[in-house]
């Protein structure tokens, strides 16, 4: 049988990894796919010194590649929203299947892209868009197809996890660790996407869609980054038996779906609390399977290439199938997606870690307790530290039971209005994940 011809758009970290693994494991991959896979063209802006592309036709124009009649499958690895959207839609219009690692593209333009792909009877595959080398899309979309999925929670940004791990383990400064993540090729082109949670929210949006059968709704995800975390909070969390992780949480409740990315205290003895460095992990809770955990490299050249090529093999195997019998892009049949609403963060429910900087006077703790109890907020534990030399203030750390966020917002406003409380109260959500 003739080889399947693919075109790779972008020869950066993931594109380079994809080219190299396709070449190195060509025979093994062909044994799985049932056909040889040939890279017929690469669109690149500059050479990748880690790849020997001698003999492979190249172009600097991605549209020349997507219009190339020889190419059956386009692999989009240029990233970003605008050009990537244009080239993916054009590839689809040209009747080509698409494999992409672009989480921003899928989270923001996925509904449009999948609708167009259905019209044209082509596949758009995106395993590499979430959690690098972990086949979590396939696990949720296919492996857990029997389940009513209740919730999922994941460490889905390697750069952020690397920063938090290094801060906790070595007391390293934020900026220094971020620079290292950039040098290692983990960070996004705009690193605020990593540290402000935007990249994780892109991935969470995708995971929630395939878990709950809802359209992609990135604009409704609540996103909070890790830049305001202090080493003091990391230490207090530790003393209370928790680790702070930057978590994406999607939970189905009767009122709607929680879709939120924020720093989170997790009990230190949970497996996921011990996922460190650039590693990612996603926990999925389904009614039949219970909790399952997927762990692995969340970024990097070859781990991400592994997912790109797995998609490629899937597409090659499906080339001759009837488009209506393929696994739906978002796991559920497109005309059966649910309109269960995404909840605003004020309606989400969680436990909370609160750090109050208070003056060292009698009665402050009583006032704090009164404000919380008036709003039905139950305190689970409390820790008061000695007066800090530099400002003469007393850090008061509380962990609450679960409560709707709006209640905590009201309590924080009341606490911050107290004469004896100085500055903003630090609030970090707490999840038990059990
Ligand atoms: N910047 C991303 C991360 C790359 O750090 O996880 C993988 O999506």
Nearest CA to ligand 1 atom 4: 299
Is there a contact between 260 and 249 (Cβ–Cβ < 8 Å)? yes
**Ligand 1 centroid to 69 CA: how many Å?**
33
H-state helical runs in 34-172: 62-66, 82-93, 103-120, 136-138, 158-170
Q: Ligand 1: which of 159, 189, 203, 307 to mutate, most ligand atoms within 8 Å of CB?
A: 159
Atom number in ligand 1 closest to CA 203: 8
389 pLDDT above the threshold of 80: no
Q: Look at the block and give the residue holding tokens 């003056």.
A: 359
pLDDT value of position 175:
84
pLDDT tens-digit series, residues 71-122? 999 999 999 999 999 999 999 999 999 999 999 999 999 999 999 999 999 9
Q: Binning pLDDT at 50, 70 and 90, where does residue 290 land?
A: very high
pLDDT value of position 182:
86
CA 339/CA 215 separation, integer angstroms: 8
Atom number in ligand 1 closest to CA 188: 1
Question: In this structure, what token pair is assigned to residue 389?
Answer: 């030399």
Q: Please check if 11 is assigned to a binding site.
A: yes
**Ligand 1 centroid to 164 CA: how many Å?**
14
Nearest CA to ligand 1 atom 7: 299
pLDDT tens-digit series, residues 227-281? 999 888 999 999 999 999 999 999 999 999 999 999 999 999 999 999 999 899 9
> Which residues of the chain form CATH 3.30.70.260?
348-430
Better-predicted residue by pLDDT, 325 or 142: 142
Q: Look at the block and give the residue holding tokens 């705009």.
A: 190
CB atoms within 10 A of CB 326: 15
The pocket around ligand 1, CB under 6 angstroms, is made up of 132, 157-159, 186-188, 194, 199, 298-299
Q: Ligand 1: which of 187, 204, 279, 304 to mutate, most ligand atoms within 8 Å of CB?
A: 187
Name the 3-class secondary structure at 39. Answer: strand
**Ligand 1 centroid to 153 CA: how many Å?**
16
Question: In this structure, what token pair is assigned to residue 331?
Answer: 């796991």
Q: Please check if 363 is assigned to a binding site.
A: no
> Which residues of the chain form CATH 3.30.360.10?
136-297
Which architecture, in CATH terms, is 348-430? 2-Layer Sandwich (3.30)
Strand positions, DSSP E, 159-311: 222-223, 242-252, 257-267, 279-286, 290-297
Name the 3-class secondary structure at 280. Answer: strand
pLDDT value of position 181:
84
pLDDT value of position 176:
87
Among the ranges given (164-173, 261-270, 307-316), the one the predictor scored with the smallest mean pLDDT: 164-173
Say how many CA atoms lie within 13 Å of 354 toward its Cβ: 33
Question: In this structure, what token pair is assigned to residue 89?
Answer: 């839609």
pLDDT value of position 391:
84
Sign of the C-alpha dihedral computed for residues 198, 199, 202 and 204 taken in this order: negative
pLDDT value of position 434:
87
The CA angle 63-106-330, to the nearest 5 degrees, is 125
Active-site residue, selected from the candidate residues 96, 138, 203, 245: 203
Q: Please check if 10 is assigned to a binding site.
A: yes
Q: Binning pLDDT at 50, 70 and 90, where does residue 334 land?
A: very high
Question: In this structure, what token pair is assigned to residue 119?
Answer: 């019209």
Q: pTM of the prediction?
A: 0.96
**Ligand 1 centroid to 416 CA: how many Å?**
36
**Ligand 1 centroid to 157 CA: how many Å?**
5
Q: Ligand 1: which of 17, 188, 191, 277 to mutate, most ligand atoms within 8 Å of CB?
A: 188
Percent of the chain with pLDDT over 90: 89
For domain 136-297, the CATH class is: alpha beta
Q: Please check if 13 is assigned to a binding site.
A: yes
CA 2/CA 19 separation, integer angstroms: 20
CA 211/CA 137 separation, integer angstroms: 9
Q: Please check if 51 is assigned to a binding site.
A: no
Concerning whether 203 is annotated as a catalytic residue, the answer is yes
Is there a contact between 367 and 420 (Cβ–Cβ < 8 Å)? yes
> Which residues of the chain form CATH 3.40.50.720?
4-133+301-336
Q: Binning pLDDT at 50, 70 and 90, where does residue 60 land?
A: very high
216-222 average pLDDT score: 98
pLDDT tens-digit series, residues 190-215? 889 999 999 999 999 999 999 999 99
Q: Measuring CA to CA, how many Å separate 15 from each of 58, 69, 110, 180? A: 13, 21, 21, 21
Better-predicted residue by pLDDT, 153 or 385: 153
Q: Binning pLDDT at 50, 70 and 90, where does residue 185 land?
A: confident
173-188 average pLDDT score: 84
Is there a contact between 309 and 29 (Cβ–Cβ < 8 Å)? yes
Closest CA to 258 of 222, 218, 206: 222
CATH assignment of 4-133+301-336, given 3.50.50.60, 3.40.50.720, 3.30.70.890, 3.40.50.2300? 3.40.50.720
């Amino acid at each position: 049988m003739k080889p399947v011809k693919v075109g790779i758009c972008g020869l950066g970290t993931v594109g380079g990894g994809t080219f190299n693994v396709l070449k190195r494991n060509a025979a093994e991959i062909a044994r799985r796919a049932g056909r040889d896979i040939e890279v017929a063209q690469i669109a690149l802006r500059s050479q990748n010194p880690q790849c020997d592309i001698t003999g492979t036709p190249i172009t600097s124009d991605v549209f020349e590649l997507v219009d190339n009649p020889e190419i059956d499958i386009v692999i989009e690895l240029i990233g970003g929203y605008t050009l990537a959207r244009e080239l993916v839609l054009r590839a689809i219009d040209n009747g080509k299947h698409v494999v992409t690692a672009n989480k921003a593209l899928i989270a923001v333009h996925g509904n449009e892209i999948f609708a167009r792909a259905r019209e044209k009877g082509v596949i758009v595959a995106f395993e590499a868009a979430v959690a690098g080398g972990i086949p979590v899309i396939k696990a949720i979309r296919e492996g857990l197809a029997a389940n009513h999925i209740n919730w999922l929670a994941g460490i889905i940004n390697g750069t952020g996890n690397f920063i938090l791990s290094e801060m906790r383990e070595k007391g390293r400064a934020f900026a220094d660790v971020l620079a290292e993540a950039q040098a290692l090729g983990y960070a996004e082109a705009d690193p605020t996407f990593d540290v402000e949670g935007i990249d994780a929210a892109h991935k969470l949006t995708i995971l929630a869609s395939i878990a709950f059968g809802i359209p992609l709704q990135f604009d409704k995800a609540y996103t909070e980054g890790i830049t305001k975390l202090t080493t003091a909070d990391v230490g207090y969390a530790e003393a209370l038996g928790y680790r702070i992780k930057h978590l994406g949480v999607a939970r189905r409740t009767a009122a709607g779906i929680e879709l939120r990315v924020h720093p989170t205290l997790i009990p230190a003895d949970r497996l996921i609390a011990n996922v460190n460095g650039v590693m990612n992990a996603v926990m999925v809770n389904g009614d039949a399977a219970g909790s399952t955990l997927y762990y692995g490299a969340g970024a990097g050249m070859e781990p991400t290439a592994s997912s790109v090529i797995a998609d490629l093999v899937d597409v090659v195997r499906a080339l001759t199938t009837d488009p209506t019998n393929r696994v739906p892009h978002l796991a559920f049949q497109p005309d059966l997606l649910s309109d269960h609403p995404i909840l605003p963060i004020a309606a989400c429910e969680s436990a909370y870690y609160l750090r109050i900087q208070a003056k060292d006077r009698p009665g402050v703790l009583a006032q704090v307790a009164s404000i919380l109890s008036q709003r039905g907020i139950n305190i689970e534990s409390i820790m008061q530290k000695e007066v800090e030399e530099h400002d003469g203030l007393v850090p008061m750390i509380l962990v609450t039971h679960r409560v709707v966020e709006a209640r905590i917002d009201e309590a924080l406003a009341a606490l911050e209005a107290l004469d004896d409380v100085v500055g903003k109260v630090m609030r970090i959500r707490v999840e038990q994940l059990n």
